[in-house]
Homo-oligomer: A and B are copies of this chain.
Amino acid sequence: MQKGKEPANGPSDGATPKAAVGRLSLYLRHLEALQRAGQETISSTQLGRALEITDAQVRKDLTYFGQFGYPGVGYRVQELRDALRALFGTNRTWQVALVGAGNLGRALLGYRGFRSHGFAIGAVFDSDPKLHGKHLHGVEVYDVARLPELARTLGLALAVLAVPAESAQSAADIIVDAGIVGILNFAPVQLRVPDVVAVVSVDLGLQLEQLAFLVNQRTATSTADSPSTP
């Protein structure tokens, strides 16, 4: 479903279905939890149950990425976790540029889920001169014009775009010019970027809509079950 939101990027070369990528994230989450709990091996059936998918789907997903279970053992938790981390590139820390130091940008700076997943916000960029040189959550705020220079010197590989809708495209253009090839976009607009740049959009209105659908469906189900229905 991400695909439809990124018309500018075209299909992802047919290499990896995005739904499978989404499942890989969930495998990794689960394996990290198992690792913390000290569990050493896991079967495809157990992995499937945790993710509410079939064990056949688990085996297909993992075979696709060159991971095979051991007969009578299943998958080795640490080995599979390390392989998935390498796939995601989260076996190292990615340096991330945060573009936009408004409420959303500040909320993201304080978000602990980034660091624990292998992402560090290395610099903040904002067009407001009053913020330049200030530190937010220990990270310095720079003029957006300095993004190309700092992307090089600080090794910023990804950008989080947290600016208002009307500034999003021009900010994305600067990010692309800086040679950054991945954008996490929070602005409710579709960005036009070259094919080499990956965009993942977080559409908060869509998330709320999904919730409304689930609530609607449950309400409809409980009404249908009511004995007052003839």
A residues at B contact (CB < 8 Å): 1-5, 7, 11-13, 15-16, 18-19, 21-26, 28-30, 50-53, 87-90, 94, 96, 102-104, 106-108, 110-114, 116-119, 157-158, 160, 162, 165, 181-184, 188, 196, 198-200, 202-219, 221-222
Q: Which residues of B contact A213 (CB under 8 A)?
A: 16, 21, 24-25, 87-89
B184 touches A208 (CB 8 A): yes
A4-B52, A203-B113 known; A88 vs B212 contact (CB < 8 Å):
yes
Question: Which of A15, A51, A90, A198 lies at the interface centre, i.e. has the most chain B CB atoms within 10 A of its CB?
Answer: A198
Interchain CA distance A112-B117 in the complex, whole Å: 29
Instruction: Indicate how many identical chains form the complex.
Output: 2
Question: Which of A29, A118, A211, A216 lies at the interface centre, i.e. has the most chain B CB atoms within 10 A of its CB?
Answer: A211
Shortest CB-to-CB span from A227 to chain B, Å, is 18
Interchain CA distance A102-B137 in the complex, whole Å: 14
Known: A4-B52, A104-B104. 10 other contacts (CB 8 A): A5-B26, A15-B217, A113-B204, A116-B205, A117-B208, A158-B212, A182-B214, A184-B207, A184-B208, A202-B202
Interchain CA distance A2-B25 in the complex, whole Å: 11
> Would you list 18 pairs from A and B whose C-beta atoms are within 8 A, ordered by A residue?
A1-B22, A1-B25, A1-B26, A4-B26, A4-B30, A4-B53, A11-B52, A16-B213, A25-B213, A89-B213, A90-B209, A102-B107, A104-B104, A119-B208, A119-B212, A181-B219, A182-B215, A200-B208
Interchain CA distance A45-B116 in the complex, whole Å: 43
Interchain CA distance A89-B218 in the complex, whole Å: 12
